[in-house]
Amino acid sequence: MEELQALSQNPDLWNDPAHAQKLMSEKNHLASAIDNYQKIVASYEDNLEMADLYEQDDEMSEQLLADFQKLEAWVEQQKLEAFLSGEADKNDAYLEIHAGSGGTEAQDWAEMLLRMYTRWAEKHHYQVSYEEETAGDVAGIKSVTIKISGYNAYGWLKSESGVHRLVRISPFDSNARRHTSFASVDVYPVVDDDIDIEINEADCRIDTYRASGAGGQHINKTDSAVRITHQPTGIVVQSQSQRSQFQNRETAWKMLKARLYELELQKRSDEQKEKRDNMGDNGWGYQIRSYVLQPYRLVKDLRTGVETSDDKAVLDGDIDLFLSAYLAYLGGKKAAAS
């Protein structure tokens, strides 16, 4: 903190606004972490003193028990935040959704997932911007890429990569039959400018096309959309959110750089095989989470076993239950390995 405070007082700091904002964001979040720790210690000590004073007071004992339980929940939340210490956890995140097998059903499901993640981001005061969106043939979306900006956005969302399965009575089926739909989610970190990723342009195919999407405020319909295919890896990125082809090209290069950086992180991670197995094909047997709306209501994460019957809240963006459980799961694996 002392080092960051000294850097923040440099009169030349704001000559580079992007660097300055990054430094100030890191300083503010570190200050918040330190403040939380000090408040936890103070609250713990105060509760101990109260427990000594009112040891024989049953009513006060019940209140103190409730206070300790609140404190315990706060400590658990701070422990989860401490798990967000990966190389790119603090970065902004790109989140891609692709409709899987199931036609219109799957495309509608992909749009439901988009709404779930944007609602989650809004609740956490993250900024959401649309990079690419391809509308469905009848309803929903075939694919979308959004950028979620905010401290630890990638750290929280990285566990969402995988196939998500929905079971429900189809609103598109006149016979009201139950359908199963799939959509894949891929999350990767926005790469900082100080991370050097070399890309040979000769390895890339660049295509331009007319932007197409759901319309409205999310997207500008132009003839300047850009798609870049990195042929050695097969990675494809698209940008159509800007009116200028030059701006879309620049954004697409940044997205490709981020994808290649994520690929490098995976190569260095012991979890590479697990993630690849989790992703698999965009269909049966590879889902990370199941959302059942019929014949009963249950949302269950198949990796951690965490589940809830409040599907409406989940689809409205209340997914912290699953994000926190997966962070704790990863933290437990790291602790066991060490």
81 pairs with which residues across the strands? Answer: none
Same domain, 77 and 214: no
Residue 127: per-residue pLDDT: 93
Question: At how many degrees (to 10) do helices 320-337 and 58-83 cross?
Answer: 70
Torsion of CA 179, 180, 181, 184, to 10 degrees: 170
Q: Are 222 and 210 in contact (CB under 8 A)?
A: yes
Question: Which residues neighbour 311 within 8 Å (Cβ) at sequence distance 6 or greater?
Answer: 291, 292, 293, 297, 298, 299
Residue 268: per-residue pLDDT: 63
Read off the CATH number of the domain in which 181 is found.
Answer: 3.30.70.1660
Same domain, 203 and 120: yes
**Residue showing tokens 């097969």:** 234
Question: Number of C-alpha atoms within 13 angstroms, CB side, residue 125?
Answer: 1
Same domain, 59 and 178: no
- Rounded distance between C-alpha atoms, residue 62 and residue 282, angstroms: 51
**Residue showing tokens 């359908």:** 179
SS3 of residue 26 by DSSP? helix
Same domain, 166 and 79: no
In a domain, 113, yes or no: yes
Which of 83, 116, 138 corresponds to the end of one domain?
83
Same domain, 207 and 78: no
Alpha carbon 16 to its chain's center: 28
Which of 52, 83, 114 corresponds to the end of one domain?
83
How far CA 296 is from CA of 168, 178, 299, 332, in Å, comes to 9, 12, 10, 32
Summarised one tens digit per residue, pLDDT across range 217-235 is 444 455 688 999 999 999 9
Average predicted confidence (pLDDT) for the chain: 85
Read off the CATH number of the domain in which 34 is found.
Answer: 1.20.58.410
Q: In terms of Cα–Cα distance, which of 91, 50, 118 is closest to 265?
A: 91
Q: Are 63 and 69 in contact (CB under 8 A)?
A: no
Same domain, 128 and 157: yes
Same domain, 43 and 71: yes
In the chain, % of residues over pLDDT 70: 87
Same domain, 184 and 70: no
Q: Residue 54 gets which letter from DSSP?
A: T
Per-residue pLDDT of the chain (338 residues; tens, 9 = 90+): 999 999 999 999 999 887 888 788 788 888 888 998 999 999 999 988 888 887 777 778 888 889 999 999 889 888 888 888 777 888 899 999 999 977 899 999 999 999 999 999 999 989 999 998 999 888 999 999 999 998 889 999 999 999 999 999 988 877 878 889 999 999 999 886 656 678 888 999 999 988 765 544 444 455 688 999 999 999 999 998 887 888 899 899 989 988 888 887 777 654 544 554 555 555 555 789 999 998 899 999 999 999 999 999 999 999 999 999 998 888 776 666 65
Number of domains in the chain: 2
Same domain, 114 and 244: yes
Same domain, 20 and 165: no
In a domain, 88, yes or no: no
Strands 235-239 and 141-149: unpaired
Provide the residue type at 281 as one letter. Answer: D
Q: Are 46 and 70 in contact (CB under 8 A)?
A: no
Q: In terms of Cα–Cα distance, which of 117, 134, 138 is closest to 126?
A: 117
Which of 83, 101, 131 corresponds to the end of one domain?
83
In a domain, 183, yes or no: yes
Same domain, 230 and 157: yes
- Rounded distance between C-alpha atoms, residue 134 and residue 132, angstroms: 7
Q: Which domain holds residue 29?
A: 2-83
In a domain, 278, yes or no: yes
In a domain, 292, yes or no: yes
What global pTM score does this model have? 0.71
Alpha carbon 250 to its chain's center: 23
In a domain, 135, yes or no: yes
- Angle at 303 (CA atoms; ends 299, 306), nearest 5 degrees: 40
Residue 285: per-residue pLDDT: 54
Residue 218: per-residue pLDDT: 44
